[in-house]
Copies of this chain bind each other. A is one copy, B any other.
Amino acid sequence: MAKRHLSLKDLASELNISISTVSRALKNHPDISPDLTRKVQELAMVRNYTPNPLAMGLLRQETRMIGVIVPDLVTHFYSSIISGIEEYAKSKGYFILLSSSYESMEKEIESVSNLLKARVDGMIVCLSKETNKFDHFLHLIQNEIPLVFFDRVCLSETVPCVIIDNQDAIEQIIFHLHEQKYKRIAFISGPAHLNISREREIGYLSGLKKLGRKYDPSLLCSSNMLISEAVQIITGLLALPDPPDAIFGINDMMIYAVMKELKARGIGIPEEFGVVGFADEFHASFVSPQLTSIMHPTHEIGIKAAELFFKKKDDPGFAETVVLQTQLVVRKSSART
């Protein structure tokens, strides 16, 4: 059991003055004589006094903690964003309370509830892949508890969001694969209720259209983003009468799995088959062949999300959606020219 922390009372009784005098002296209140102020501040310094955030929180009705809910904690994409949020929050004197939804709506609801019990001042959230109802967030909105979404978002009319330009990102991929003379480009998308799936599918269509290419529905595969599905899907695609010769996916995991399967079948990357990933900047350059991939500005997403959080806190009506640009980094896996 930890010893009690030092309180104003301790300092006060040591100096034989009242608590309120100590409190004022510490913040250089003009009511307190310079002499006493100096004495109090010196003692506070040597004793290493820091105000009790519990008491302050009770008084100010705030905890200076931001709840952050992500689908998982171990993916580089999320941990990097968390790192950005943490950095900005820390600079504002705020802490982060982390919670994982494990890609489950049920656990997400539980997380919201837990964070609420902990009295966080607000939340920054990336939806789980299952989330298709939003009552738990509406509840926050009704109670004017600041909320920000990033990447996988909803309710963007009332909630500030940070997203990437998904349509543009996919178009970049399509244009690149087109340039590389790949004839039939497949896309492993995600669940239809996620904005990232919808927006990227739009990009898939618009990209093909801009190039005057035909859209073949059999090459646009929905998924629940499970690795096992990836293998199944690529198997199915290869069995098509007119199979694709290039593929990209909703995230890197799926694509790594696809690469593994292609290699196992002895299909040459990039000669016979072009492959493009989505976003794990770090490892993409270590797989072999190195993976062409869309770079997410993860750190910036985190910073921006935190920034929007504080704006929302100061202005309940605020509901901007920030769209960040991505960049296609071309590496071996899709470069055959």
Contacts and interface: CB of A to CB of B under 8 A. Distances in A.
Nearest to A255: B286
Interface string A71-93: 01110100110110010001000
B73 A82 contact: yes
A29 interface: no
A133 interface: no
A214 interface: no
B286 A122 contact: no
Interface stretch (A17-25, A111-119, A178-186): A111-119
A54, A72, A143, A146: which has the most chain B beta carbons within 10 Å? A54
Interface in A91-115: 95-100, 114
Query: By DSSP majority rule, is chain A's interface helix, strand, loop, or mixed?
Result: mixed
Category for how many chain A residues contact B: 35 or more
Given A96-B97, A287-B286, A144 B50 contact: no
A256 interface: yes
Interface in A279-296: 282-283, 285-289
Contacts of A73: 79-80, 82-83, 86
A52 B119 contact: yes
Contacts of A316: 1
A106 to B, nearest CB: 14
Interface stretch (A57-65, A195-203, A228-236, A319-327): A57-65
Interface of A: 1-5, 50, 52-55, 57-58, 61-63, 72-74, 76, 79-80, 82-83, 86, 90, 95-100, 114, 116-119, 121-122, 143-146, 256, 259-260, 263, 282-283, 285-289, 313, 316
